[in-house]
Amino acid sequence: MKALLVIGDGMADRPLKELSGKTPLEVAEKSSLDRIAKDGICGILDPISPGVPPGSDTATLALLGYDALKSYRGRGALEALGSSVEILQGDVAFRCNFATVDENLTVIDRRAGRIETDEASKLAEALQNVRLGSGLTAEILFKNTVQHRAILRLRGQALSRMISDSDPGKTRALTTRFHKILKDHPVNRKRAEKGLPPANIILFRGAGTLPEVEPLPDRYGIKATAITAMPLIKGVCKITGMKLMYVKGATGTYDTDVIAKAKAAIEALKSNDLVLLHVKATDVASHDNNIQQKIEMITKINRMVNHIIKNVDLDETIIAITADHTTSTATKEHEGDPVPIAIQGPNIRTDDIEEFNERVCAKGGLCRIKGKDLMPTIMNFIGKTEKFGA
Ligand SMILES: [Zn+2]
């Protein structure tokens, strides 16, 4: 028996007045998601705990069975790991932005006009081999990723992730050094000539170290693979011992190729016990306050799931569908409301629920569970849990 876990990022929502008090899940065409609800067992799930709005990183950690409140150590190291930066226990990593400051060091553009990746690469090269100074000895690795985004890794003795955004004192020395190098760099002189904002400062945030977790293959004796376009989610999956599958056309944006992702999941199920299939853009639509786009993305997820249902052996596969958290399209924020969950499989009890959405799933047979209960639930269905007691 195999398991597929489909996560629509921020797919759950709150009632929207534009939809006459319904949620996007209640109005979108999603017959295949409804079929999973109808043939399986449903419920609602608090990713962390009732009323706690989770980040995608803590929520995904929870859905993979971990107590995120205990194991989470900040976003930076997970994002770095997911961006192919080597991170070891003890390293501190930050998410960074190339930004623009004026002569008074006031930030005037947090993304440096969304500088292009190859220009950022040239600037990043100039920032290697900078020393921290002021009593802190650490090896520095600075790597740009996409556009204005970058990763800073500090490696050294007794570093703490508490050298963070909230304690700028210790990172100020490095900021100043980077600024001195960047402000007169030829790339920025050219940008100034073209009237573009210079990428003359690096902003640090999300300091983090790796969480210490027992990997899924050790915990359950399984092989697991994840399909996601998001560096942060890649990092979470990597640290939990999942392999990552690259899918051409998977972008993390509205144009993502869901059929390519479906095909990849079908392929991955052949050689894995657990496959996680993550789609980001439902969350993006809510952050963009775009109701129609969110409905369209739910329909795309439905098409993806439909392709999978038609092409896997449902006698040998259980399929679970949920969201990592609620993102309200009205507030444009993650909220602490529970999310719907449906699990279908040959040996799974059913209930009377026939639709996949926030309202109806709340009446389902799984009742209300926590995020960290989901993985044991799935592992139980595929025969990978051990008896507790004699
Ligand atoms: Zn999320």
Tens digit of pLDDT at every position of the chain (390 positions): 999 999 999 999 999 999 999 999 999 999 999 999 999 999 999 999 999 999 999 999 999 999 999 999 999 999 999 999 999 988 999 999 999 999 999 999 999 998 999 999 999 999 987 876 656 667 889 999 888 999 999 888 767 655 555 445 567 778 888 999 999 999 999 999 999 999 999 999 888 999 999 999 999 999 999 999 999 999 999 999 999 999 999 999 999 999 999 999 999 999 999 999 999 999 999 999 999 999 999 999 999 999 999 999 999 999 999 999 999 999 999 999 999 999 999 989 999 999 999 999 999 999 999 999 999 999 999 999 999 999
Q: What torsion, rounded to 10 degrees, do the Cα atoms 64, 67, 71, 77 define?
A: 30
CA distance 172 to 195: 28
Distance (Å) from CA 370 to ligand 1 centroid: 16
Around Cβ 292, how many Cβ atoms within 10 Å?
A: 11
- Which spans in the chain are helix H? 24-27, 31-39, 56-63, 68-71, 76-82, 117-126, 168-183, 186-193, 216-220, 231-239, 258-271, 281-287, 291-311, 358-361, 371-381
Give the angle subtended at the CA of 317 by the CAs of 315 and 319, to the nearest 5°: 125
Distance (Å) from CA 336 to ligand 1 centroid: 12
Distance (Å) from CA 10 to ligand 1 centroid: 5
Distance (Å) from CA 325 to ligand 1 centroid: 6
Distance (Å) from CA 233 to ligand 1 centroid: 9
Distance (Å) from CA 252 to ligand 1 centroid: 11
Residue 165, pLDDT score: 52
Distance (Å) from CA 102 to ligand 1 centroid: 34
Distance (Å) from CA 304 to ligand 1 centroid: 19
Distance (Å) from CA 134 to ligand 1 centroid: 38
Distance (Å) from CA 184 to ligand 1 centroid: 39
Residue 163, pLDDT score: 59
Distance (Å) from CA 308 to ligand 1 centroid: 22
Residue 135, pLDDT score: 61
Q: Are 277 and 4 in contact (CB under 8 A)?
A: yes
Q: How far is CA 118 from CA 142, 239, 251, in A?
A: 15, 29, 19
Distance (Å) from CA 209 to ligand 1 centroid: 20
Residue 140, pLDDT score: 87
Distance (Å) from CA 56 to ligand 1 centroid: 3
Distance (Å) from CA 291 to ligand 1 centroid: 17
Distance (Å) from CA 112 to ligand 1 centroid: 26
Distance (Å) from CA 194 to ligand 1 centroid: 37
Residue 166, pLDDT score: 42
Distance (Å) from CA 135 to ligand 1 centroid: 38
Residue 275, pLDDT score: 98
Distance (Å) from CA 131 to ligand 1 centroid: 36
